[in-house]
Structure 1
Amino acid sequence: MTFQPSGRRSILQRRSSTSNSIQAGLDGMAVTGVAWWLVDYHIGFLTPAYVIMILLLLGALAVVYDHYAIYRSNVGFTLKAFKLFKAWTATFAFLVAMAFLTKQSEQYSRMLVAQLFLGGLLVQLLLHVAMREVQKKLLNHPDQLDNALIIGSGRLANFLHQKISNNPWLGQRMVGCVLIKAGGEPAGATAEIDPRHPTILGNITDLDVLVERHAIRSVYFVTPLDASEVIEEVYLRLLDKHIAVNWVPDIFSLRLINHSVREIAGIPVLTLSETPLMGMRLFLKNLEDRLLASLALILVAPLLMVIAIAIKLDSPGPVFFRQERMGWSGGIFRIWKFRSMVVHQAENGIVKQAQKNDPRVTRVGAFIRRTSLDELPQLFNVLLGEMSLVGPRPHAIQHDEEYSDSIVDYFARHHIKPGITGLAQVRGFRGETRDIEQMIQRVESDIEYINNWSLWLDFIILLRTVFAFTGKHAY
């Protein structure tokens, strides 16, 4: 018998609770009400232009709030309020952009739009506070909670236990966990442990007894990658007991790079490692790089000329230093830098990092290295599409090979274009690496950047670069 995924429905389904649906409806009505009242107050009647504005606002609200998972995430109120602020701001940014692009901005009152932004945000925050209080009161009765059980143990099981226990609006009470392998605590064990961890009730052989004793309604499998065969056997046993079964594969012991869940021809695919630069994201990243690099080259052209002349007068040799580096997806390119050292050959073919008070560094070279002006020619690499303004710094190929032997996930930093500056650099992880721990800090920052990439993050890093690229670590 061959497996054929069903074509009638997607296997990846979105779940929305009744309270979240009500919250979304209340937000839409509140925003519409605030907008209507402000138009009536300022204008006196609803004009076609403001009807279009309200309709666009509601449409953008649905799309942007879905992107920020406003109604799909159960987080603390402070974080929820911050996410709501970002989503609401992004919605208004879209409206403003549309008004200017269509040359209709003159039809709208600036005061009205500003008041709508502040009033709409305030009303939504109040509605979210009220909804959370209603949820807490409705779910504050133990007899209304479904008992849940975790099959598995470890950090992910502990994390899942905390999340469910600290979110009463999920409507579940976590009673404990059972170990996948036999030989654990006996069934019914209730020894006191860390309250952040689930109580170990027994092992997998005790499951039927525990399900009956605790009236379990939901089960969460938290299994390592090498224990997934347990799921089929236990799943069939639970199927006859009318229990909701959930699988949380324990993949988080791996270094995940831009991980996601998607669907291919009806089959769920869990992506562990992938570049964030695809489709529209790649287009936006390239657009950002080309536009800003072109503008920067125009602004610094006179400075480039002055530095080039100073290098030629200071020591014999070429103005630029060219060296092969490894880039995006392992591609090789030649980096552009101003030459900051005397012309020399690598000793025994070994590329030696620049050190503090390095005798190879020229007088002009010491200044441009300290101020990071030697990196400016890499704007040409950006225009050629070989580098980005922001990304992991590319190292000499020999150093890539050396560090990859000591750092398991070192090459994960090549899942995105290398950059002139990056998150590691603005955090101070630059210059000579005297020990492996310093390089590990760089790699961790680079992977954090890849996993959280956005145009906004690029903007913040570029802003911080202005203050970070001079100082004691530059030589």
Structure 2
Amino acid sequence: MTAAAPVTRVPAVEEAKVPLDLMVFIIRVLEFLLVLGSGAVALYLWSDVIPGSGLADYLRAIFGAGLLFALVAEIIGTYDLDAQFSLRRAWQRLFTSWGMTALFLVTTAFLLKVSAEFSRGWALTWFVTGGVMLAGSRAALTIWLRRLKRHGVFDSRAVIFGAGEQGQRLADYIRGNDRLTISLLGFFDDRRDGRVPVIFGDLPVFGTCDDLVAAIREGLIDQVIVALPWSAEERIREVVAKLALTPVRIRLAPDLASFAFAHRPLVLLGDLPVLTLFERPISGTDAIIKRAEDVILTLLILAVIWPVLVVTAIAIKLDSPGPVFFRQPREGFNNRLFEVLKFRSMTHELCETDGIRQATRGDKRVTRVGAFIRRTSIDELPQLLNVLKGDMSLVGPRPHAPSTRAAGRLFHEVVQTYAARHKVKPGMTGWAQVCGFRGETDTEDKLRKRIEHDLHYIENWSVGFDLYILFRTIFAVIAPKNAF
């Protein structure tokens, strides 16, 4: 700390060369054209089987799909800032948008009874070609945007008014967030009595509010972030009144307490901005989409695997006395108990419905058929009926019995956030399972890892993520680990 800080001139940093909004608009237009172009490519490849009289119908379908894709991509957030520099997020939202577009077109064609008028080969070629072109172009654009960002092409020149603890924490946040397009030049502050430092890290305190207005008039600053305690309402009003006369963006930083929830979204409650600390996940339209996904995919799976279910039931009856199915209480959505349905894999007299112990390697309770169906996860297949009933989902955190333990302690005693996994319906498979965290949770660390993956799934759910987990599940079943 120093009693008085000399007024330092703001460096003449070059203004952002290209607005990021312009680049995002170009990406929107390009991907719309790619949808149209991929449809045209498919038309050319299947021109021999497409009659000239029906060409207009194909062109209308292509143009309509382009508009629909643009709308869905916008709603899903394909062009949000966080998807411009993260290829994983971009691809996830891009494939979801393209998949939903294709699904809508197929459904519409079926309902209007015009599907027979279009070549299936053309439609499949278009879907694959479009997906490849969209993924390839977005990968190239993301790499290019990252390179431009590293060179500061999109950065706006910003300063913080308020060099106290609040401003210092804001500066740390800005410089530690690689998604922001801000070039932070330093601080301004009216307090010249030693209450604020001359320099914080390598960021200088340039001067007072009047010095800030002068620097703005010289065209050296694009954005001012006011970081004063919200309790100092009169002081904030005075500073903002002076800055309001200048042609720059002015923002009010959150109060100190808000930094603990910096990753939470800010929404408007009427005209009042509020932080959303926790949101009900997979709600509204998302809940309808996920339920439709569960029902449609479950019916398709049952139509394919019903012979496996019949053979398994017969094998269980021949192997040991007792019922084919085993019902066990599990904790589901909102901590409500429901009965999970499984093929019986243990001797009937040793099956537990209370004080449940997880199966361990070489468990004497497991029958010969039970060992096989547990190893191959066939014992879980009757849970498809739980999915149809609505107690479970195909993908979600795996349901645990209330009495199960890790290292002798109940799950909720080990991890305080354990109950958060019950914000959504439990699943037949989940992100934790395909990442290798399945089977016995004999240590507290295994349980923590499983919970971390479950919460990651809840916070990042999408149809594309579900399909990816289901795809990974196939390989997890082929090469099982920790299943006994």
Determine if the TM-score, normalized by the shorter chain, exceeds 0.5. yes
| CA–CA distance in structure 2, aligned partners of residues 461 and 365 of structure 1 | 25
Distance 1:328 1:265, change over 3 A: same
Pick from 396, 402, 410: which aligns with 1:397? Answer: 402
The structural deviation recorded for 1:214 is: 6.9
| CA–CA distance in structure 1, aligned partners of residues 481 and 251 of structure 2 | 56
| CA–CA distance in structure 2, aligned partners of residues 344 and 435 of structure 1 | 24
**Residue in 2 aligned with 1:334?**
339
**Residue in 2 aligned with 1:436?**
444
Which ranges of structure 2 fall in alignment gaps of 5 or more residues?
A: 1-18, 245-249
| CA–CA distance in structure 1, aligned partners of residues 28 and 370 of structure 2 | 62
**Residue in 2 aligned with 1:344?**
350
DSSP-derived class of the 2:467 partner: helix
The structural deviation recorded for 1:121 is: 5.2
**Residue in 2 aligned with 1:147?**
158
The structural deviation recorded for 1:375 is: 1.3
Residue type at the aligned position of 1:148? V
**Residue in 2 aligned with 1:161?**
175
The structural deviation recorded for 1:293 is: 2.4
Preserved CA contact (<8 Å) 1:325 1:394: yes
| CA–CA distance in structure 2, aligned partners of residues 292 and 154 of structure 1 | 51
Distance 1:231 1:417, change over 3 A: farther
The reply to whether residue 379 of structure 1 matches residue 377 of structure 2 is: no
| CA–CA distance in structure 1, aligned partners of residues 201 and 371 of structure 2 | 64
DSSP-derived class of the 2:366 partner: coil
Equivalent residues in 2 for 1:83-122, closer than 5 Å: 86=95, 89-90=98-99, 93=102, 96-97=105-106, 100-101=109-110, 102=112, 103=114, 106=117, 110=122, 117=130
| CA–CA distance in structure 2, aligned partners of residues 299 and 114 of structure 1 | 25
**Residue in 1 aligned with 2:252?**
246
Residue type at the aligned position of 1:281? D
| CA–CA distance in structure 2, aligned partners of residues 115 and 361 of structure 1 | 46
| CA–CA distance in structure 2, aligned partners of residues 375 and 27 of structure 1 | 45
The structural deviation recorded for 1:438 is: 0.6
The structural deviation recorded for 1:458 is: 1.5
Residue type at the aligned position of 2:67? G
| CA–CA distance in structure 2, aligned partners of residues 441 and 311 of structure 1 | 34
| CA–CA distance in structure 1, aligned partners of residues 339 and 287 of structure 2 | 22
User: Which deviates more from structure 2 when the two are superposed, residues 61-70 or residues 404-413?
Assistant: 61-70
**Residue in 2 aligned with 1:7?**
none
The reply to whether residue 471 of structure 1 matches residue 476 of structure 2 is: no
Compute the TM-score of the two structures, normalised by the length of structure 1. Answer: 0.71
Distance 1:393 1:190, change over 3 A: closer
Distance 1:314 1:51, change over 3 A: closer
**Residue in 2 aligned with 1:418?**
426
Preserved CA contact (<8 Å) 2:35 2:130: no
Residue type at the aligned position of 2:435? R
Distance 1:452 1:362, change over 3 A: same
Pick from 448, 456, 461: which aligns with 1:453? Answer: 461
The reply to whether residue 284 of structure 1 matches residue 292 of structure 2 is: no
* Cα deviation 1:376-401 (Å, max 9, x = unaligned): 22122112111111110111112389
Equivalent residues in 2 for 1:36-185, closer than 5 Å: 49=57, 52-53=60-61, 55-73=63-81, 75-76=84-85, 82=91, 86=95, 89-90=98-99, 93=102, 96-97=105-106, 100-101=109-110, 102=112, 103=114, 106=117, 110=122, 117=130, 146-149=157-160, 152=166, 158-163=172-177, 170=181, 172-176=182-186
| CA–CA distance in structure 1, aligned partners of residues 434 and 32 of structure 2 | 44
Preserved CA contact (<8 Å) 1:39 1:46: no
| CA–CA distance in structure 2, aligned partners of residues 94 and 125 of structure 1 | 22
The structural deviation recorded for 1:445 is: 0.7
| CA–CA distance in structure 2, aligned partners of residues 184 and 406 of structure 1 | 48
Distance 1:429 1:89, change over 3 A: same
Preserved CA contact (<8 Å) 2:340 2:386: yes
Preserved CA contact (<8 Å) 1:219 1:245: yes
Residue type at the aligned position of 2:157? D
Preserved CA contact (<8 Å) 2:148 2:154: no
**Residue in 1 aligned with 2:278?**
273
User: Which deviates more from structure 2 when the two are superposed, residues 454-463 or residues 395-404?
Assistant: 395-404
Preserved CA contact (<8 Å) 2:398 2:430: yes
Preserved CA contact (<8 Å) 2:421 2:455: yes
| CA–CA distance in structure 2, aligned partners of residues 299 and 184 of structure 1 | 76
DSSP-derived class of the 1:397 partner: coil
Equivalent residues in 2 for 1:215-226, closer than 5 Å: 218-220=223-225
Distance 1:345 1:125, change over 3 A: closer
Residue type at the aligned position of 1:97? V
DSSP-derived class of the 2:403 partner: helix
Compute the TM-score of the two structures, normalised by the length of structure 2. Answer: 0.70
Provide the alpha-carbon RMSD of the alignment: 5.1
User: Which deviates more from structure 2 when the two are superposed, residues 32-41 or residues 50-59?
Assistant: 32-41
Which ranges of structure 1 fall in alignment gaps of 5 or more residues?
A: 1-15, 193-198
Pick from 405, 416, 430: which aligns with 1:408? Answer: 416
Identity level (%): 31
The structural deviation recorded for 1:338 is: 2.2
The structural deviation recorded for 1:44 is: 10
The structural deviation recorded for 1:474 is: 0.4
DSSP-derived class of the 2:199 partner: coil
Distance 1:183 1:460, change over 3 A: farther
The reply to whether residue 318 of structure 1 matches residue 316 of structure 2 is: no
Preserved CA contact (<8 Å) 2:34 2:130: no
User: Which deviates more from structure 2 when the two are superposed, residues 73-82 or residues 113-122?
Assistant: 113-122
Preserved CA contact (<8 Å) 1:370 1:474: yes
DSSP-derived class of the 2:283 partner: coil
User: Which deviates more from structure 2 when the two are superposed, residues 373-382 or residues 75-84?
Assistant: 75-84
Distance 1:319 1:254, change over 3 A: farther
Preserved CA contact (<8 Å) 2:393 2:427: yes
* Cα deviation 1:24-63 (Å, max 9, x = unaligned): 7854896699699989998999975466346524532441
| CA–CA distance in structure 2, aligned partners of residues 35 and 415 of structure 1 | 40
Q: Which fold has the larger relative contact order, with Cα–Cα distance below 8 Å and residues 6 or more apart in sequence?
A: 2
The structural deviation recorded for 1:440 is: 0.8
Residue type at the aligned position of 2:242? K
**Residue in 1 aligned with 2:9?**
none
Distance 1:251 1:318, change over 3 A: farther
* Cα deviation 1:167-190 (Å, max 9, x = unaligned): 6xx5x53024699xx999952225
**Residue in 2 aligned with 1:13?**
none
| CA–CA distance in structure 2, aligned partners of residues 87 and 364 of structure 1 | 40
